[in-house]
Amino acid sequence: MKFTALVFIVFVVGVMVSPVSIRATEVKLSGGEADVTCDAVQLSSCATPMLTGVPPSTECCGKLKEQQPCFCTYIKDPRYSQYVGSANAKKTLATCGVPYPTC
């Protein structure tokens, strides 16, 4: 349990010290576009499910759906890739009905 707490703290600190938010474009099915700000801090409600495998909250699932256009950016970023690519992260995405991206 101490290791999980340590990993969680490192993740939260890493997210908070991230200096730049990244912009992405989400293409809607209607053909319009909406700007999404890629901000990993917004996924903080998902940290526990992604690290431990516990079921995600409704808030977490909403944030995952909102941040979905940003996943490839997070996967390619060494600060986040180990968390986003973990088995528990994939389980959390599946529980929320969000497909794991192919980048």
Q: Which of 44, 75, 76, 79 is nearest to 62 (CA)?
A: 44
Q: Which of 70, 97, 99, 75 is nearest to 86 (CA)?
A: 75
Mean pLDDT estimate for the chain: 78
pTM for this entry: 0.69
**Selected residue with higher pLDDT from 40 and 97:** 97
Mean pLDDT score, 82-103: 93
Band of pLDDT at residue 84, cut at 50, 70 and 90: confident
Domains (range + CATH), the chain: 2-96 (1.10.110.10)
Asked if residues 92 and 57 have their Cβ atoms less than 8 Å apart, the reply is: no
What six digits make up the tokens of 82? 């180990």
